[in-house]
Structure 1
């Protein structure tokens, strides 16, 4: 059974999200409509798993290609630094 770590809120999570969102926007350019910080780390003053969750809204025409790229890149992240992939592409 996998152990879940829950820690006190870290104010740095907001800056980490902003940095990651900037990298996503830079890498994907105009295909990105928005990047949102979601999950428990986005809520101030609550305990959370120390994992920053991003929700990327992409234009439909590129969605499938980017999803495949994200899953490929995810596979390059060392196992101990990642959670399971939860990528989902929904048509608007």
Structure 2
């Protein structure tokens, strides 16, 4: 089964297509939003705080260090693409189970 918002690269990394809702009451993954995974962030969309919070949240969720999560596109947009370097098989399975 293909998951549209989750792309696995040949180098072992994954690229996630996300829809972000900053300024929420809590940080959480809430499900699908079209062809993207929707993530609510408690951080406000000011001075890159939401982007930093997103990367930190995904790093913790995938069990990798913060430096292994990078924003590929969408710095000022709700639609973002994020690369996670070398997530374990368990983390990829957890991501697939979300959508």
**TM-score with structure 1 setting the length:** 0.43
Which one has the bigger strand percentage? 2
Instruction: Give the TM-score, by structure 2 length.
Output: 0.41
**Higher helix content, 1 or 2:** 1
- Give the greater-gyration-radius structure (CA): 1
